[in-house]
Every structure is written in structure tokens, then in C-alpha cells.
Amino acid sequence: MALFNSIKKSLAFFTKRNSFSKSILEITCLSNVPENTVYGGPKPQNPNQRVTLMNLRQKHKKGVPITMVTAYDYPSAVQLDTAGIDICLVGDSASMVVHGHDTTLPISLDEMLVHCRAWLEVPRILFLLGTSLLVLTSPVLISLNDEQAVDTAVRVLKEGGMDAIKLEGGAPSRITAAKAIVEAGIAVMGHVGLTPQAVSVLGGFRPQGRNVASAVKVVETALALQEAGCFSVVLECVPAPVSAAATSVLRIPTIGVGAGPFCSGQALVYHDLLGMLQHRHHAKVTPKFCKQYAHVGDVINKALLEYKKEVTNGSFPSSFHSPYKISAADLDSFSNELEKLGLSDAASAVRVAAEKTETTESSGGRGTSD
């Protein structure tokens, strides 16, 4: 009978092994984001799935729009992952948004790799739970030959942990660099239209494709990047009909940044779409193409002002935010020890603090000042 029960349990185990494996996976995942601790965290929208190029191709084939957000650090990474964003672009726009420069040009590759490595914690912690495809805009590939471009791209993947790299522009040297990187086994996203790294040539951050020659160039460049092996192309700040033309002739998805609704997907900068207002260029006016889905900057400012007010008037921290206790007996002993050491002022401070704490707690945990 014991043998029969043992066999029965074994059969039940193997019959339900998929369910069991799923349960074990869920337990493992939950251990990474404890909910009942001080440092618990949110869960991603797409559990147990990591976004890959295959996922993007399938979405594109089905006509499902692709979402991409430009962000630069771990807290942002967790938010994007939780929301189920398809692609995170660790962009050289960090030069402006995070470092406060006027253009994207001053930031170095080493500085960009710091932002990339901040994302490494997301695949490590949330890999089984799902994470966005990670793409880096390289700020240095614009001036490198093919061999140097490949070496730099390899470094981005090895040291930065990225899944792909984005190259701006469509000059012949950029096309050959993209092809060389793809042939080295590294995924490349192209970028045409307004290319911020070429701001000096363009005469500022100006939209492209607004005349016949420029519009044709956008389409031709996108086609050239596709032939070079790019898995996707960003179309930035071009008229909607131009992006529609490019999207219609390409076999790969287009990602629009201020390029209208006819692209295969859309991209915005994290700080812009949240209304964080961090850069002086965007402090009063966000890009015309950017919809603000929140006004987080106002919330942050209000919170900081409230914090300053409460610290100044003494209402923070109250007893509620002073959770660590010492027994009355130990307080007396502590005070006596201080007296023995000749620290009478410190002993007096202990007694006064104990009395105030007791008074505050007896009044329901509210501070003595408002």
C-alpha cells in the first residue's frame, strides 16, 4: 500500500510538472520583490518573459505598435519594466536630461556605460519576470572607422549589458559601420531625420524632411539602413506623410519620435512624458511632439516644499517616523552612565527626549508642532 501511494504521488508530480515548475518559478520571482518588507517592489506586467528581437518582429508582423522610452537609471528601469514597455533606449540625451548640457555631444562613452550598468540590475533581478529590450545610443561611433565601431559596440554589450546599439545618421560611413556591426553579430537600430549628434551640421535641433529633397533622403536613408541589417529605424521630427512613406516601404519596424501616427511604434523621453521638467530647455516648454502623461515635476516640487516646511517647524519626524525604541529601564541606565562619564548635558538631553516622546505618543503620535 505504501508503494502504491508512493507511485501515485510520483505520477501526480509528473502529470503536474508544468504547473509545479511554474509555481517554483513564481516563488523564485517573488523572492526577488518582497512585498512585505521595507524594500519591496512592484511586479512587471509581463511575468516570465524577456523582450527579444523576435518579439518585436512578431508585433510588427501583426501590426501591434511597439513602445519605446528613453531612460537612464535603475528606478526608471523598474518603472518601464513594470509597465511592460517593449524597448528602453539608454540615450545620449542623458547628456542634456541628466547632466544638464546643451546638446548630446559632451557625454562620453564611459559616462554612457555608467547609465547602462544601472540597468544591469533589472535583468539580474527581474530577468525571470521580464524586462524591456535594452538599446544604447552610442555617442562616439559617429567618428570611428568600421573596426573601431565594432570594437566599441562589443564593449557596449560586454560592459554595458545592452541588447543592441543605435546609430544615428545615414552617411556612407554610417551605413558601412552599421553593416560591420551587424556582421559582427550585434543588433543595430538605425536613426534618421533629426539626428542630435549632427546638430552642428543641421544648424540646431531642426525637423527634417520638410522639402522634397530632404523627404526623399529620409526614405532612402531608412532603406539603406535596412539593407545594412538594422532591425529597426528611428524616424525623428519628420512630417507624418514622410514617416508613412518610409514605414510603407520598409520590412523592419519604424519608431517615431515626433514623426506622426503612421510609424510601427513610438518613443518618448521618460522625463518629458512624465513632466519632470529637469532640463532648462524643457523647463517652460516641452518638445512640441511630446504629450505629458503626468506632471511629476509639480508633485516633486510640492513634496520638497512640504518636507522643508515640516523639518523647519519641527513636525517631522514625529514619533510615527521615529520607530526605534529603547526600554525605560535602559534609558535610565543610559542616562546614569552618561552622568558617570561627566556628560551631564547629554544625560539631561536623554531625559528631555524621553519625556517629549512619551507626551507625543500619549497624544496619538502627532508631533508637538504644526
Closest CA to 164 of 221, 233, 83: 233
Segment (H or E) for 234: strand 232-236
In DSSP notation, 18-48 reads: HHHHHHHHHHHHHHHS-SSSTT-----SSTT
6 phi, psi to nearest 5 deg: -65, -45
Element of type H or E holding 61: helix 53-62
Q: Is 147 a catalytic residue?
A: no
**What does the block give as the cell for 315?**
513636525
DSSP 8-state code for residue 263:
S
How far apart, in Å, are the Cα atoms of 19 and each of 14, 50, 107, 127?
10, 20, 48, 20
Query: How far apart are the C-alpha atoms of 106 and 116, rounded to whole Å?
Result: 17
- The verdict on whether omega for the bond into residue 317 sits within 30 degrees of 0, i.e. cis, is yes
- C-alpha to C-alpha distances, 344 to 328, 333, 337, 354, nearest whole angstrom: 18, 13, 10, 15
- How is residue 51 written as a grid cell? 523582450
Q: Which of 227, 236, 306, 310 is catalytic?
A: 236
Distance CA 255, CA 76 (A): 20
Cell of 50: 524577456
What is the enclosing helix (H) or strand (E) of 233?
strand 232-236
Rounded distance, CA 65 to CA 277, Å?
27
Residue with cell 530577468: 127
Residues with catalytic function: 236
